[in-house]
Structure 1
Amino acid sequence: MTDNADRYLTAARRESTQRRYRQALEHFELVWGGLLPATSETVVRYLADSAERLSSSTLRAHLAALARWHIRQGFVDPTKAPQVRDVLRGIQALHPHMPRQAEPLQLTELSRCVEWLIAQEAGLTDAAMRGHRRDRALILLGFWRGFRSDDLCRLRAETIQIRAGEGMQLFLPSSKTDRDHRGRSFFVPALRRLCPVQAYEDWIAVTKIQHGPVFRALDRWGHLSEEALHPYSVPRILSRALIRSGVDADRFSGHSLRRGFATWAARNGWGTKALMDYVGWRDVQSALRYIEPDMPFGEFKKRSSDNGRVEQ
């Protein structure tokens, strides 16, 4: 296979997916002591030995990595054997795991965080305020567009256009659900408060970025990197801003921005179809995992009275 072919094959797979596959193979070989190529009997033993330490979703991801390795190397895929699937189903039945979800970031917490970032800019030089402006633009854009961490890190300045008084148009070249890398255009509206467009313009004003990644690493002196932020940096940036603004950050992760917007939209009357189209979800189940419903139990919903007692 030529170097060019290898380059395009690598580009076809997301960096995060490749990383997870490498980690899965390392766990199978180095941690558990398995040998490649593997047999279906070996894979069954691997699943059984790992059942109490790894969740069933993690084991499924490891099976996908093993399957891909065998197919690419020209071997029979051992994960397709009926006994492998039966053991995985048994593990799911005997070791159920409640899926962990990040808590949605509410508008009050978002406001508190952004207001603190703006207040800290007073009297700072352009270099010193870059961190505050980057974090504000990152958080507001992530919230109001419901972007994932890696979506934010893929944004490029040359594909973003500001429409005065309206908002901005941006192009995302690829995403988690865009496996064909066709890309998608998004519109971000200008808002009266907590405006992501104004935050983006403020960030560009102190960095003069015209080409390349929008969100980049900064050193302690405010010097700008040429490389895009790593997606792992987004939850750390959010957590740091929340903590410094006095918000308990332990409840939140990078997904809290996406879940926060979905919850806000649902509570403000957005229909499921409109929300799916705006965020980019392809199926209803994906959308519902992010929404925190406010169910109308009416007179049966418990409420606190003026004297602190709970009434029905």
Structure 2
Amino acid sequence: MNDTRDQITLPTSVAGSGTLDRLIETARDYAEQSASENTLKAYATDWAHFTRWCRLQGADPLPPSSEMIGLYLADLAAPGGKAPSQSASRPLSVSSIDRRLSGLAWNYTQRGFALDRKNRHIATVLAGIKRKHARPPVQKEAILRDDILAMAATLGFDLRGLRDRAILLLGYAGGLRRSEIVSLDVHKDDTPDSGGWIDILDEGALLTLNAKTGWREVEIGRGSSDLTCPVHALEQWLHFARIDFGPVFTRTSRDGKEALETRLSDKHVARLIKQTVLAAGIRSELPEKDRLALFSGHSLRAGLASSAEVDERYIQKHLGHASAEMTRRYQRRRDRFRVNLTKAAGL
């Protein structure tokens, strides 16, 4: 992100030198790793939208004005000051507005300013937006055991099929985010953009991940048969693709006969899930558009959390959640009415 690089410079009182110039470049490189590429792109878009809005209002985005930001949030919720049904512009959801505010706070920090989100001009407007417009969160549907097996069965046994089967089974058994799947390397420090590495053992695969919540280890045991075993699927892909260094999951040639060196994008995982959901006939009673909207990369994590009949604390550790409450959000209907407080209270 160019704004981040521009902000890291020497103090005016310090004379430059070759060594210090190199350290500036190193610091800028580290700064660019402070958030994921997708997050940085989103923050850049947030800032561009806000600065354009300020120009249209005849205002300057710098320094931060809590009053103007409060008005900006109100305009996102009800563009033009009109009710959403009357507005030409589409109002943003509460979660999108909250995310947009986080983007502004990050951008101001990069420019040496502090944005006080608790300032009354911001906090009260945001609280009012949440009270009036908040809706229950829309969750993607979980991919359950029979679903993942049906999806994997739609794939062939050429290189591309071996790769995609390993992605689905590993992502499901590991409860992995799509970014975690594609960021894996074969070994530690194989590539500068690595998000972790794998160790294949007799008992299974040990994944060491530099994830959203920090470093964590994920144990993926071997399955009950080769057809459903994520570790076997991974071994098959690595063997036939002749991958022993660098990214675990790479693109293939157009004819599907050769593995290339280029790391897969996390968007491939999302496309793969939607493609195989359709091919497997999952939720076939719905129109195709609705079926596609139900599933995403997070459906793999939700599927593991909903299907694994083990103590909740093991699922929480496996998914890398800081709280049990977050884990329960992924457990689609699994725990409903497991504890009946009505009967426990004597009714």
Class of the TM-score when normalised by the shorter of the 2 chains: 0.7 to 0.9
Are the equivalent residues in 1 in contact too, given 2:216–2:320 (CA < 8 A)? Answer: no
The residue number in structure 2 matching 1:41 is 67
TM-score by length of 1: 0.83
Structure 1 residue aligned with 2:185, among 130, 147, 156? 156
Structure 1 residue aligned with 2:222, among 190, 196, 200? 190
The residue number in structure 1 matching 2:167 is 138
SS in 2 for 1:232: helix
Is the aligned partner of 1:27 residue 2:61?
A: no
TM-score by length of 2: 0.75
Q: Write the mapping of 1:65-80 to structure 2, written as runs, cut at 5 A.
A: 65-77=103-115, 79-80=117-118
The residue number in structure 2 matching 1:243 is 278
Deviation string 1:179-226 (CA, Å, 9 cap, x unpaired) is: xxxx22222100113110010011112211111111122342224342
Write the distance in 1 (CA, Å) between the matches of 2:306 and 2:338. Answer: 18
Q: Write the mapping of 1:1-312 to structure 2, written as runs, cut at 5 A.
A: 1=9, 2-30=24-52, 33=56, 35-37=60-62, 38-52=64-78, 53-77=91-115, 79-117=117-155, 120-121=156-157, 129-158=158-187, 159-164=197-202, 166-172=203-209, 174-178=210-214, 183-193=215-225, 194-222=228-256, 223-248=258-283, 249-250=291-292, 251-265=294-308, 268=309, 270-294=310-334, 295=336
Write the distance in 2 (CA, Å) between the matches of 1:36 and 1:225. Answer: 45
Deviation at 1:72, TM superposition (A): 2.2
Are the equivalent residues in 1 in contact too, given 2:169–2:233 (CA < 8 A)? Answer: yes
Are the equivalent residues in 2 in contact too, given 1:39–1:78 (CA < 8 A)? Answer: no
Are the equivalent residues in 2 in contact too, given 1:43–1:78 (CA < 8 A)? Answer: no
What residue ranges of structure 1 are gaps of 5+ in the alignment?
Answer: 122-128, 299-312
SS in 2 for 1:184: strand
Are the equivalent residues in 1 in contact too, given 2:47–2:104 (CA < 8 A)? Answer: yes
1:80–1:167 CA distance, 2 compared to 1 (3 A) = same
Are the equivalent residues in 1 in contact too, given 2:105–2:115 (CA < 8 A)? Answer: yes
Write the distance in 2 (CA, Å) between the matches of 1:62 and 1:47. Answer: 9
Higher relative contact order (CA 8 A, sep 6+): 1
Deviation string 1:13-37 (CA, Å, 9 cap, x unpaired) is: 2222212211211222236747421
1:36–1:135 CA distance, 2 compared to 1 (3 A) = same
Write the distance in 2 (CA, Å) between the matches of 1:9 and 1:21. Answer: 14
Deviation at 1:9, TM superposition (A): 1.1
Deviation at 1:79, TM superposition (A): 4.1
1:143–1:297 CA distance, 2 compared to 1 (3 A) = closer
Are the equivalent residues in 2 in contact too, given 1:105–1:260 (CA < 8 A)? Answer: yes
Deviation string 1:235-269 (CA, Å, 9 cap, x unpaired) is: 1011112222333442211111100000001xx2x
Deviation at 1:231, TM superposition (A): 1.6
SS in 1 for 2:330: coil
Deviation string 1:144-194 (CA, Å, 9 cap, x unpaired) is: 110011110111112322223x2122221x11111xxxx222221001131
What's the C-alpha RMSD, in Å, of the aligned pairs? 2.1
**Structure 1 vs Structure 2: percent identity of aligned residues?**
29
